Structure 1
Amino acid sequence: MDERVVRETVRDLWARPALESLSGFVEIPALSPAFDSAWERTGHLRAAVEHVRAWLARRPIEGATVEVVELPGRTPVLLLDVPARDATNPATAVVYGHLDKQPAAGEWSPGLGPWQPVVKDGKLYGRGAGDDGYAAYAAAAALEALHAAGGRHARTVVLLETGEESGSPDLAAYLDHLAGRLGHVGLVVCLDTAGADYERLWLATSLRGIAFLDVTVRVLTSGVHSGHGSGIVPSSFRVLRELLDRIEDPRTGEIKLAECNVEVPADRLAEVRLAVAEGFHSPSLPLAEGVRMVSDDPVELVLNNTWRTTLSVTGAAGLPPLLDAGNVLRPFTSLKLSFRLPPTADSGAALRAIEKALTTDVPFGAQVEIGRAEAADGWNATPRAPWLESTLDQVSEHVFGKPWRALGLGGTIPFLGLFGRAYPDAQFVVTGPRGPGNNAHVPDEWLHLEQTERVTEAVAHILHAHATA
């Protein structure tokens, strides 16, 4: 394979055709179904799929087929299927991305907008540019570059779903539907994560799971004057606070339930220590003046964010706005509880333990109602094969000029758990060009174009190495 041709082809594609089409993709408000329940009627998701399908169909990739697959009542999936080229490895490589988007999420800076592509200072601004529309173009560009350079690859299927921002509720059905067609999958390349800088290749090696629920504590059928009822009827807030203290140590934030805790694997602990030693700590956050982080040890902060359970109260009801709050003993208090779980924790068991702690022997016999309870497992990568380890080293030297690094991520991406269960023997490369400040999910989202070129080139090299692994 001519590495020079790979690099030039990738750069040429991102200089114009890929960038132009991705900019057109940004213009489409293809909100994920969680944010557009009428997605079938509005048609934006299908418009985004058709936009990308048409671009893929025009690419000169020998033998490639492009197809939209849509199961009844589910969001569509777009497939680019490329037959093997000079490969001895019979296993399929799957490259994953998604085409659904988050909403605008507030005011964007002057001159920018969620559906307005703007290229400035080496960045493409617009919703879905980095999360995750670029993935379709990077995957196709990597394959096109391989063909132009005389490279090889096993059969490769680029799978682009349209429900990831809603938790990938349809993906399991599609993996089942496509199982026979995909065959034995030996490599999964996921292009939907972020790294800690824009200078090297970053791999995500774990993601936390999640459990969330609404909990309501009710003590009265209607509110009463606090002068009449307080001291006689317990405060619903106090009861709920006591229930939460069964789960979380209010001083340290440690979760007390055994089902929510795991031992950090030795290889993941080593990754964290190496990254911290090289200066990659927890993400920069907009702390209020005078606020301290929960630990002075940067290793502990990273582990807290990637391998330990944390509780966030993300919503509340039953509490009037401050200006409207009179002297009333309120009938109920409701909270939305969100638990980020360790990658290897059983999310179902964790959720059951949480519900039990909230509903057993409730103080004063107060009523407890649980609603909208859901859970999703995290993901922990399988050990890397020698061929992949050596390829990552070579790619880092020739493409990035710096060693690659790996870290766990504190968020939850349900599809990786689905892929992990569907393809337990596959090698996983979970990467992407996003990094600090890229603003995914919030105003002014942008894609770092030079890093995108490098990641695309890296994917080409990894597919080439997998062909004979």
Structure 2
Amino acid sequence: MNAPDRLLRPDAATLGRHVDDTWNREIVRELHDYIAIPAKSPMFDADWAANGHLDTVVRRAADWVTGRRVPGLTLEIVRLTDEAGRPRTPVLLFEIAATRPETAVGVAQTPTVLMYGHLDKQPEFTGWRADLGPWTPKLIDGRLYGRGGADDGYAVYAAIAAIEALKAQNIPHPRIVGLIETDEESGSGDLPVYLDALRDRLGAVSLVVCLDSGAGNYGQLWLTTSLRGLVSGALKVEVLDEGVHSGDASGVVPSSFRILRHVLDRLEDSATGRLLPGQFHVEIPANRLAQAQATAAVLGDEVWKRQPWACGADGTPVLPMTADPVEALLNRTWRPMLSVTGVDGMQPLGSAGNVLRPHTAFKLSLRLPPTVDASLAAEDLQRLLELDAPYNARVTFHPDGRAGAWGASGWDAPALAPWLETSLNAASQAQFGAPVGYIGQGGTIPLMNLLQAGFPQAQMMVCGVLGPKSNAHGPNEFLDVPYARRLTAAVAQVIADHP
């Protein structure tokens, strides 16, 4: 396909000014209110339906969108139930009619831009600065602090702002559909059901704009080229029915922690962090290796220096697993890595008496290369951890999710169409003054694999605002507002370039 006629392209400077105005007058205020609502994802709030926080943020976003009175826009909050009649997490769906001649062919054939985001949040976490908090929004030097603003409550507001900026210049645009879910941080378990139910209304998706990813720096547009998969779950080792005096039992009763450590040695080389089972590894594609080398040349040591390193005993910072920028990028994108994100069965230090504990449990987070099937990996991991337990201890691993659908597979982006590659670079140059960057991300967005399977011909623009130190999921999460404004304008340019 050829690029659109240049006479139909928006003026980039005017586009930027319109987006800036919407962000400054409207979106920052809306995000303040959004951050203040503890709309935790269902995995972290079992009573989410009764608590109503997810419904509140969806309803507030819907009210804001409809209040903009965008010509040609319709909106619905879609609510489905499961087989037992329990509510599924709500989805906000909006549609904006095309202003191009292809509207005559009908929804099923009309090229459609699908814009994606989510409104559910990770839990509070500890370690926030004394002047900050997860539910207390604060704007400091252009950074809006608080849980969920950057990951990624801004997405629906940015999507509408981008469309408004095009309409302000009377730029024709394709049909646009927005899909904003509230289950992403729990693995998007409800999303396949919604995609099946809404398939006819989504239409012929030809471009996906996903606003739920990261950035290598705040100086250019970054396109996400891959996402890691994820298997998470609880590994538990039980040796007693109740705790006993450690002086009486140690040396007789094996430590549940030692057994757990021994079991994990089957999975990970504790000296290097390398995952041992071969089935969790893949050969890194040549094009992704070349992109990592190019990105490393741009970012340099900032690839690893961006982390909030503690200091060691001698006062110097903790060392990274590798100081080679290329290897660090590949470690966080194309190699499996294990993290322990939670623990159960241990007493806080202040109340830890001389008791040999009956059990130890770890929450495991296993990140997988983009092309590894997460469900199969979860089954392999369960067998590996539970097989032949030392001392005949009760060792169980319960993956998150549902049997047959454990984990979330990663995603490797399809090749860019020439028009999109040209458009991304032009948008980055116009809004940032620098070329587009390409970077794999270590996180997981389950939607991308679902959409890739459902719309195999669609192009993918996966991008986001999670740049250095933005710290999604952790303490002091922030949204860099100037970067978000420029990203919004860049998205608008790409939509205008859609053939």
1:211 aligns with 231
Find the aligned partners of 2:295 and 2:80 in 1 and give their Cα distance.
43
Preserved contact between residue 311 and residue 338 of structure 1 (Cα < 8 Å): yes
Stretches of structure 2 that go unaligned for 5 or more consecutive residues are 1-8, 82-86, 103-108, 401-405
Find the aligned partners of 1:17 and 1:328 in 2 and give their Cα distance.
56
Find the aligned partners of 1:193 and 1:320 in 2 and give their Cα distance.
36
Which of the residues 131, 136, 158 maps onto 2:156?
A: 136
Q: Does 1:44 align with 2:63?
A: no
Preserved contact between residue 152 and residue 463 of structure 1 (Cα < 8 Å): no
Residue 110 of structure 2 aligns to a residue whose secondary structure is: coil
Preserved contact between residue 60 and residue 144 of structure 1 (Cα < 8 Å): no
Q: Does 1:100 align with 2:120?
A: yes
Change (3 A) 1:202 1:215: same
Preserved contact between residue 231 and residue 399 of structure 2 (Cα < 8 Å): no
Q: Does 1:295 align with 2:295?
A: no
1:56 aligns with 65
Change (3 A) 1:87 1:439: farther
* Residue 182 (structure 1) shift: 1.0
Q: Does 1:249 align with 2:269?
A: yes
2:6 aligns with none
Which of the residues 90, 98, 109 maps onto 2:110?
A: 90
1:382 aligns with 414
Change (3 A) 1:398 1:333: closer
Preserved contact between residue 259 and residue 346 of structure 1 (Cα < 8 Å): no
* Residue 104 (structure 1) shift: 3.8
Find the aligned partners of 1:329 and 1:78 in 2 and give their Cα distance.
50
Q: Considering only aligned residues, what root-mean-square deviation do their CA atoms show, in Å? A: 2.5
Residue 340 of structure 1 aligns to a residue whose secondary structure is: strand
Which of the residues 445, 452, 469 maps onto 2:484?
A: 452
Find the aligned partners of 2:131 and 2:250 in 1 and give their Cα distance.
54
Preserved contact between residue 110 and residue 203 of structure 2 (Cα < 8 Å): no
Stretches of structure 1 that go unaligned for 5 or more consecutive residues are none
Find the aligned partners of 2:390 and 2:130 in 1 and give their Cα distance.
53
Structure 1 counterpart of 2:52, one-letter code: G
Which of the residues 17, 22, 46 maps onto 1:13?
A: 22
Q: Normalising by the residue count of structure 1, what TM-score does the alignment of the two structures yield?
A: 0.91
Q: Does 1:312 align with 2:335?
A: no
Q: Does 1:2 align with 2:7?
A: no
Structure 2 counterpart of 1:381, one-letter code: A
Preserved contact between residue 281 and residue 369 of structure 2 (Cα < 8 Å): yes
* Residue 384 (structure 1) shift: 0.8
Find the aligned partners of 2:347 and 2:341 in 1 and give their Cα distance.
16
State how 1:252-291 maps to structure 2 within 5 Å.
252-280=272-300, 281-282=303-304, 283-289=306-312, 291=318
Find the aligned partners of 2:473 and 2:216 in 1 and give their Cα distance.
17
Change (3 A) 1:388 1:240: same
Preserved contact between residue 315 and residue 336 of structure 1 (Cα < 8 Å): yes
Which of the residues 81, 93, 109 maps onto 1:79?
A: 93
Preserved contact between residue 75 and residue 92 of structure 2 (Cα < 8 Å): yes
Change (3 A) 1:326 1:439: closer
Find the aligned partners of 2:472 and 2:244 in 1 and give their Cα distance.
45
* Residue 124 (structure 1) shift: 2.9
Change (3 A) 1:256 1:31: closer
* Residue 220 (structure 1) shift: 4.7
* Residue 177 (structure 1) shift: 0.7
State how 1:219-258 maps to structure 2 within 5 Å.
219-221=239-241, 234-258=254-278
Which of the residues 416, 426, 432 maps onto 1:394?
A: 426
Give per-residue Cα distances to partners, 1:191-230, cap 9 Å, x unaligned: 1112121110011111111112323334455556666655
Q: Does 1:371 align with 2:398?
A: yes
Which of the residues 355, 364, 386 maps onto 2:382?
A: 355
Q: Normalising by the residue count of structure 2, what TM-score does the alignment of the two structures yield?
A: 0.86
Structure 2 counterpart of 1:288, one-letter code: C
Find the aligned partners of 2:284 and 2:434 in 1 and give their Cα distance.
27
Preserved contact between residue 87 and residue 152 of structure 1 (Cα < 8 Å): no
1:412 aligns with 444
Structure 1 counterpart of 2:439, one-letter code: L
Q: Does 1:31 align with 2:32?
A: no
Preserved contact between residue 87 and residue 154 of structure 1 (Cα < 8 Å): no
Preserved contact between residue 5 and residue 148 of structure 1 (Cα < 8 Å): no
Structure 2 counterpart of 1:359, one-letter code: E
Give per-residue Cα distances to partners, 1:91-127, cap 9 Å, x unaligned: 2110011122334434754654444444332233333
Deviates more, 1:407-416 or 1:133-142: 407-416
Find the aligned partners of 1:284 and 1:369 in 2 and give their Cα distance.
33
Give per-residue Cα distances to partners, 1:332-358, cap 9 Å, x unaligned: 443332211111111122222222222
Find the aligned partners of 2:145 and 2:361 in 1 and give their Cα distance.
38
State how 1:310-349 maps to structure 2 within 5 Å.
310-321=337-348, 330-349=357-376
Percent identity of paired positions between Structure 1 and Structure 2: 46
Preserved contact between residue 257 and residue 353 of structure 1 (Cα < 8 Å): no
Preserved contact between residue 235 and residue 397 of structure 2 (Cα < 8 Å): yes
Find the aligned partners of 1:302 and 1:231 in 2 and give their Cα distance.
44
Find the aligned partners of 2:32 and 2:423 in 1 and give their Cα distance.
32
Q: Does 1:437 align with 2:469?
A: yes
Structure 2 counterpart of 1:350, one-letter code: A
Structure 2 counterpart of 1:284, one-letter code: Q
* Residue 233 (structure 1) shift: 5.4
Find the aligned partners of 2:56 and 2:387 in 1 and give their Cα distance.
50
2:188 aligns with 168
Change (3 A) 1:119 1:316: closer
* Residue 71 (structure 1) shift: 0.9
Find the aligned partners of 1:22 and 1:53 in 2 and give their Cα distance.
14
Find the aligned partners of 1:133 and 1:103 in 2 and give their Cα distance.
14
* Residue 240 (structure 1) shift: 3.1
Aligned residue-pair number: 467
Structure 2 counterpart of 1:40, one-letter code: A
* Residue 164 (structure 1) shift: 1.8
Find the aligned partners of 2:377 and 2:101 in 1 and give their Cα distance.
44
Residue 246 of structure 1 aligns to a residue whose secondary structure is: coil
Residue 366 of structure 2 aligns to a residue whose secondary structure is: strand
Give per-residue Cα distances to partners, 1:409-464, cap 9 Å, x unaligned: 11222232333333222111111233112243334433222212211111111111
Find the aligned partners of 1:272 and 1:132 in 2 and give their Cα distance.
25
Find the aligned partners of 1:230 and 1:23 in 2 and give their Cα distance.
53
Find the aligned partners of 1:162 and 1:183 in 2 and give their Cα distance.
22
Structure 2 counterpart of 1:461, one-letter code: Q
